[in-house]
Every structure is written in structure tokens, then in C-alpha cells.
């Protein structure tokens, strides 16, 4: 077994808080009409944050760097675990969104929904909230590998501004298409999702590299 898999196993078996798994269920919010469903992405990130909190209480980072791995592998392991949780959340949300787009695209509560609908734009927003978490929280945490208050507060502030902006955006006449329920064959919407996926990958990869450099400078 490669070190990366062993470390992911360690994250899951020893460091992860049960809340990281439990909060994935907030993906079910995708079905709720008349509710700011994008908040579910915030809760998924909050679940991951709980694992960082539990990891700190249990000297997880010190334990990891004492294992026969490179010091910076500890950073990669945390990123892998976070991305895994985010991708499980995203896949569940994507399946539920497809259900809504295929079978419930004419359903009254969704068609008349004043809040955000689940479509490709919603999935794109989810990825952007995750990209914010990885950039602001994960990368910020590894400046010290101990203090997580400031990075998490900055994520809360920026993500809620982003969620608010996303909810406002589809009320602007030129952007109303972002909230359409019948967008299965809309290439623009698929393009938006692809662009968001690219942003997510880019931000996660770059922030991981920065976090590794930062953590390498940290005295334990």
C-alpha cells in the first residue's frame, strides 16, 4: 500500500470526526424548495472543520509527521481527506440535481421557487464554496498547523458573502437563466459547471502546494 493510501486510511480511522461524515447528509438539502440550498456546502465544510478540531485535540499532526513519511505528506493527507468528503457531497448533490432536472423540472414548487434551484449553476456554486474552503481554511491552517480560528472565520465571512451573492444573482434579469429548472440540454449551464470544476481543481492544487511550503517552515 502506498503512503498516500495509508495516510488517507489514518485520516479516516483515527483523525476524522464522525460529524465530517454526518454533515454529508446536508447534500439532501438539494431537494428543498424555498431555501438557500447552497448553505449545505458550508455545512459539509463545517463537518471537515470538526475533523481538524478533533485532530488538534489528539496531536494528529505531530503523530503523522513522526510516521515514516515526508513532513509535507501530512498536508497532502488532509487535502485528500477534505477532497474526498467534498466529492462525496458533490456526487450526492449531482445525482439529486439530475433527478430534479429530469423528473421534477416542471414541478410547481421548483418552477416558482424564489430561492436557488438545483441545476448545473448550483453544482458550480458548490464547487466554488469548496474551493474557498480549501484556499482560505486549509491553506490558512497550515501557516501554523495549530491555529484554525482565523482561517475558519475568514472562510465563514467570504463563503456567506458568496452564498448571498449567488442567491441575488439569479434575480438580476440578465442572469435569470441561472435559476432555470429545465436546463438538462443547456450547454451554457454545462459550461458554467465545467468552468467551476476547473476553478476548484486549480484552487485546490495551488493552495495545497502553498500549504505544503508553509507547513514545511512550521516548527512543531
Partner 1 sequence: MEKILSVKNIKKEYPKFTLDNISFEIEEGKIMGLIGRNGAGKTTTIKSILNLIHTSGGEIEYFGKSLAEHESEIKQQIGYAGGAVDYYKKKKIKKIISVTRKFYSGWDDAEYRKYLELFELDEDKTPSELSEGMKVKLNLTVALSHGAKLLILDEPTSGLDPVSRDELLEVFKLLAGKGVAILFSTHITSDLDKCADSITYIRKGQLQFTGSMSDYIEQCRREGIGETLEEIMIHYEKEDLHEKFA
Residues that bind partner 1 in the complex, under the rule CB under 8 A? 1, 3, 6, 9-10, 13-15, 57-60, 62-63, 65-71, 73, 217, 219-220
**Closer residue to partner 1, CB minimum distance, 6 or 209:** 6
Spatial contact of 123 and 97, defined as CB atoms under 8 Å apart: yes
Least distance between partner 1 and beta carbon 209 (Å): 18
Between the alpha carbon of residue 200 and those of residues 1, 24, 59, 181, 183, the distances in Å are 28, 18, 29, 24, 22
**Closer residue to partner 1, CB minimum distance, 14 or 157:** 14
Residue with cell 500500500: 1
**Closer residue to partner 1, CB minimum distance, 72 or 97:** 72
To the nearest 10 degrees (0 to 180), the angle between helices 73-103 and 187-216 is 170
Q: What is the DSSP letter of 25?
A: G
Count how many Cα atoms sit within 13 Å of the Cα of residue 104 in the half-sphere of its side chain. 19
Least distance between partner 1 and beta carbon 14 (Å): 5
Least distance between partner 1 and beta carbon 102 (Å): 42
**Closer residue to partner 1, CB minimum distance, 29 or 77:** 77
Least distance between partner 1 and beta carbon 23 (Å): 20
Amino acid at each position: 500500500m502506498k503512503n498516500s493510501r495509508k495516510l488517507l486510511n489514518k485520516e479516516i480511522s483515527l483523525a476524522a470526526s464522525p460529524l465530517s461524515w454526518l454533515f454529508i447528509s446536508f447534500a439532501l438539502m438539494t431537494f428543498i424548495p424555498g431555501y438557500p440550498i447552497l448553505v449545505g456546502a458550508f455545512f459539509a465544510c463545517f463537518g471537515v472543520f470538526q475533523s481538524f478540531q478533533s485532530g488538534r485535540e489528539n496531536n494528529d499532526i505531530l503523530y503523522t509527521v513522526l510516521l515514516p513519511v515526508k513532513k509535507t505528506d501530512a498536508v497532502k493527507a488532509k487535502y485528500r481527506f477534505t477532497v474526498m468528503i467534498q466529492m462525496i457531497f458533490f456526487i450526492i448533490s449531482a445525482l439529486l440535481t439530475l433527478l430534479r432536472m429530469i423528473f421534477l423540472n416542471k414541478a410547481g414548487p421548483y418552477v416558482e421557487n424564489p430561492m436557488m434551484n438545483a441545476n448545473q449553476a448550483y453544482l458550480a456554486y458548490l464547487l466554488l464554496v469548496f474551493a474557498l474552503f480549501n484556499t482560505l481554511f486549509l491553506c490558512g491552517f497550515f501557516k501554523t498547523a495549530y491555529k484554525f480560528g482565523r482561517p475558519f472565520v475568514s472562510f465563514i465571512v467570504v463563503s456567506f458573502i458568496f452564498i448571498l451573492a449567488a442567491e441575488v444573482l439569479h434575480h438580476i434579469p440578465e442572469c435569470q437563466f441561472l435559476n432555470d429548472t429545465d436546463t438538462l440540454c443547456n450547454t451554457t449551464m454545462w459550461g458554467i459547471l465545467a468552468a467551476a470544476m476547473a476553478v476548484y481543481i486549480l484552487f485546490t492544487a495551488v493552495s495545497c502546494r502553498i500549504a505544503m511550503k508553509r507547513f514545511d517552515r512550521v516548527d512543531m
